[in-house]
Structure 1
Amino acid sequence: MLSRSTFFSLAGALALGAALAAGPSRAGEDVLRVYMNSARVLKLDRPVSKVIVGNSDVADATVADAKTIVLTGRAFGTTNLVLLDAEGNAIVDERILVSIDEANTVRIFKATARTVLSCTPNCEEHAATGTAKN
């Protein structure tokens, strides 16, 4: 059984961890979130002529048809996506965040070591593990 002070210390640490995991954001800033090794369909209101991904190692964009883009998370991190119409006007200019699907993870903390397992469907150690930092 945890003492009251230990419980509140753990609750505070969990809240801080959740805030840090959310990452920095600016008010009103839109971010397209894509999970690692998953696809997200973007439906556009007009045809796209050119697709530009800032860092294709982080995310990939495929044209399914003139008004549909499939965005795929390739590696953890951030990049940007710019979609231009035939006249060169920006249809989309957004930041992309590729992250782990938190619903399918298990974190194991042992002293200062942290192990993250991605469980989709079998649990495997996630690449971003190691010593926990304050």
Structure 2
Amino acid sequence: MGVAFMAVFVAAPASAEDYIALETSQARILRLARPADSIVIGNPSIADAVVQDAQTIVLTGKDFGVTNIVVMDKQGEPILDRELVVSRNARGTTRIYRQAEVQTLSCTPYCEKASTKNGFDDK
């Protein structure tokens, strides 16, 4: 199914044939070879897909984990069936370990507690 679409990614991983890599709170644009009619995300708490137009989807990583995306045309034929791997955006973060407690700080540029909504809850 990988031939049926063209993805516009910056720095796509070497094994992009197998999965689409996303980071929490980051969006990626996915361009399809033909118009989509329906989109299904396996676990919508991990990733989200928003239709920009019939051939453009915006994927957003919501929480770290693995799920999948299935895109079908009007005839119900799959255009895309791909695994989505969402990882934490660790750039600009610092972790503080105090015995069993872990706190993640976002330091961009001043340190403050990182959002727990996007996979940074370390408790």
Fold match, TM over 0.5?
A: yes
Question: What amino acid sits opposite 2:80 in the alignment?
Answer: V
Q: Which residue of 2 aligns with 1:85?
A: 73
Q: Which residue of 2 aligns with 1:125?
A: 114
Q: Which residue of 1 aligns with 2:9?
A: none
Asked which structure has the greater RCO (Cα within 8 Å, sep 6+), the reply is 2
Instruction: Specify whether residues 107 and 29 from structure 1 end up closer, same or farther in structure 2 by C-alpha distance, changes over 3 A only.
Output: farther
Instruction: Specify whether residues 65 and 96 from structure 1 end up closer, same or farther in structure 2 by C-alpha distance, changes over 3 A only.
Output: same
Alpha-carbon separation, structure 1, partners of 2:67 and 2:106: 22
1:106 alignment partner, one of 80, 94, 111: 94
Tell me the percent identity. 39
- Higher relative strand content: 2
Alpha-carbon separation, structure 2, partners of 1:93 and 1:120: 36
- Unaligned stretches of 5+ residues in structure 1: 1-26
User: What's the TM-score once normalised by structure 1's chain length?
Assistant: 0.64
CA RMSD of aligned residues (A): 2.4
CA contact (8 A) 1:115 1:126 kept: no
- Higher relative helix content: 1
Q: CA deviation at 1:121?
A: 5.8
Alpha-carbon separation, structure 2, partners of 1:55 and 1:86: 23
Q: Which residue of 1 aligns with 2:82?
A: 94
**CA radius of gyration, larger in:** 1
Question: What amino acid sits opposite 1:81 in the alignment?
Answer: I
Q: CA deviation at 1:126?
A: 4.9
User: What's the TM-score once normalised by structure 2's chain length?
Assistant: 0.69
CA contact (8 A) 1:43 1:67 kept: yes
Q: CA deviation at 1:90?
A: 1.4
User: What is the number of residues matched between the two proteins?
Assistant: 104
CA contact (8 A) 2:33 2:55 kept: yes
